[in-house]
Amino acid sequence: MSDQKLVLIVEDEPDVSSFLTILLEDNGFKTETAANGRIGMTQAKALHPSLITLDISMPEESGLRMYHDLKMDADLKDIPVAVVTGITPEFKRFIEQHRKLPPPEAYFEKPIDKTEFIDVAKSLTGE
């Protein structure tokens, strides 16, 4: 189905990446995955997904660095981002206080609520 919305899952934990892939694909989305922020940026530029789910704590390049780079890139800054992380609410306060960057469109703490996650994914992608 060519009208499926593409979600880029940027997550270093294979179990979480698989869980999100299955959850999204079972609900009508296409998915691609990246194991860190560096690969995620490369894929975001190449694929221009409808939504990016982004872990914050990852090796090589963190989700925070990727988020910053996304929002500073004129071609990518409008892609909605749902942060999916084990990081506490302190991160949310930190990013919301960062004046140069808009806050992410959604936050989900692991483990995520499947129904809420899909509802938000559909809302952010216009499904």
* Residue 80 and residue 105 in contact, taking contact as beta carbons nearer than 8 Å: yes
> For the segment 2-25, what is each residue's pLDDT rounded down to a tens digit?
589 999 999 999 999 999 999 999
> For the segment 40-90, what is each residue's pLDDT rounded down to a tens digit?
999 999 999 999 999 988 877 778 889 989 999 999 999 999 999 876 666
CATH superfamily of this structure's domain 6-122: Response regulator (3.40.50.2300)
Model pTM score = 0.90
N-to-C CA span, the chain: 14
* Residue 12 and residue 53 in contact, taking contact as beta carbons nearer than 8 Å: no
**pLDDT value, residue 1:** 42
- What is the residue extent of each domain of the chain? 6-122
